[in-house]
């Protein structure tokens, strides 16, 4: 994080990324002194309501983050920033988006947790758009023009007010990651597989194991011996009423409906109290590690991996076989996971995987058969991308094997 004093003194001359959080009510024009270098501007967690027209002078600007401010509309000056690719205005008070506010080179747009009821048809006129995050708004429909977004790969529309599934999305040739739970059209009376409900007072949280968009996962031990559960478990406590992916209750239902599979993290019980919603799971052995890393600004929708990391083709094939089995199981339960990624996959030294994180999951049994088939195609496309990402880290000596060729061909079927 940088300071306003550093900016005004000229100390930050030549930097490519600037992060300012200082209860700003207006953007300091000293930022214009960085016009020849600044590519990423993070002005989140301020009190901003507008941006100056002079922002266009930041001719190298590619990414802007302005989450947790007071914007009521997406600033139209953004649409005049010719090199701007990524726009993030999460958790503001945005009710209106003009087509003039959308940069011509837009690839990644985040408007999660605002007050949007509509979006402009101009959104479909941004051919480079790959990633669109719209969860937790008040959208009643999506622009029909989205059918023109032939490069759109990921969209989140959970926790909105959509009365019908937006079929224009299912015509997109590259769409692979889709989340739509928590809309009127996706309401369900189907009961998920029952698991025991327990009181939060029956266990004690220990060390934190991980944190996702929807909750915090901790190791826990029972306060008294439990005949039906292991001594040590993992507890995921969901955050609040809404998360960046939608409603925690939808995630819990999808996870329970998924049921049991050898490669899924196993749910054991749930906590359903007024001030605590939690999922109690089997503790994952310490030998399991994340298979990949989340997408970067550059990769946008595709996983990344540590430098120099590689896997033999035999391990990749084993992982792919298991993930294919998981996908078949989820489709038999009419669950769209929405987040099939290596960074959501745990793997041990033997190539055995455990998969979970249902934050973006949606049930689709209430949709018609044609819609269900197309959603399954979307999920299979995610699996193909998953395979393609793993092949990118295949050991060099295995790249000419028959196994490699077969898997590569499967990605392009």
Contact 48, 69 (CB under 8 A): yes
Annotated ligand binding at 236? The verdict is yes
* Neighbour-count burial of 197, counting CB atoms closer than 10 A to its CB (0-12 exposed, 13-18 middle, 19+ buried): exposed
Contact 116, 139 (CB under 8 A): yes
Whole-angstrom Cα distance, residue 220 to residue 208? 9
Residues 320 and 355: their CA atoms lie apart, in Å, by 12
132, HSE (Cβ side, Cα atoms, 13 Å): 26
In angstroms, the Cα distances linking 215 to 125, 142, 180, 192, 247 are 36, 28, 19, 20, 11
Specify binding-site residues: 236
Specify binding-site residues for ATP: 236
């Amino acid at each position: 994080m940088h300071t306003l004093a550093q900016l005004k003194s000229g100390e930050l001359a030549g930097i490519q990324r600037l992060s300012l959080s200082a209860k700003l009510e207006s953007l300091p024009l000293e930022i214009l002194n960085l016009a020849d270098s600044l590519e990423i501007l993070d002005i989140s967690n301020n009190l901003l309501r507008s941006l100056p027209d002079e922002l266009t002078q930041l001719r190298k600007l590619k990414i802007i983050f302005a989450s947790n401010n007071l914007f009521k509309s997406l600033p139209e000056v953004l649409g005049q920033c010719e090199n701007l690719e990524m726009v993030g205005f999460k958790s503001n008070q945005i009710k209106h988006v003009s087509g003039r506010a959308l940069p011509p080179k837009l690839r990644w747009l985040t408007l999660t947790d605002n007050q949007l009821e509509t979006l402009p048809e101009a959104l479909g006129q941004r051919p480079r758009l790959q990633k669109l995050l719209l969860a937790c708004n008040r959208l009643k429909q999506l622009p029909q023009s989205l059918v023109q977004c032939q490069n759109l790969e990921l969209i989140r529309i959970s926790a909105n007010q959509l009365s019908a599934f937006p079929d224009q999305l299912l015509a997109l040739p590259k769409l692979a990651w889709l989340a739509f739970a928590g809309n009127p059209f996706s309401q369900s009376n189907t009961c998920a597989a029952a698991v025991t409900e327990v009181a939060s007072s029956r266990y004690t949280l220990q060390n934190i194991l991980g944190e996702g968009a929807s909750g915090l996962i901790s190791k826990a031990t029972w306060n008294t011996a439990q005949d039906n559960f292991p001594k040590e478990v993992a507890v995921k406590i969901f955050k609040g009423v809404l998360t960046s992916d939608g409603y925690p209750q939808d995630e819990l239902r999808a996870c329970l409906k998924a049921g049991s599979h050898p490669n899924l993290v196993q749910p054991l019980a749930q906590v359903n109290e007024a001030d605590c919603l939690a999922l109690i799971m089997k503790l994952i052995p310490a030998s399991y590690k994340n298979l990949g890393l989340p997408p970067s600004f550059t990769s946008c929708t595709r996983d990344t991996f540590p430098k120099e990391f590689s896997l033999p083709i035999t391990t990749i094939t084993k992982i792919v076989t298991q993930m294919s089995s998981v996908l078949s199981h989820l489709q038999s339960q009419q669950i769209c996971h929405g987040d099939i990624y290596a960074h959501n996959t745990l793997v041990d030294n033997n190539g055995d995987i455990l998969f979970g994180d249902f934050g973006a999951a949606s049930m689709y049994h209430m949709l018609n058969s044609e819609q269900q088939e197309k959603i399954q195609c979307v999920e299979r496309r995610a699996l193909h991308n998953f395979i393609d990402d793993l092949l990118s880290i295949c050991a060099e000596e295995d790249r000419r094997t028959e196994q490699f060729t077969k898997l590569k061909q499967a990605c392009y079927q």
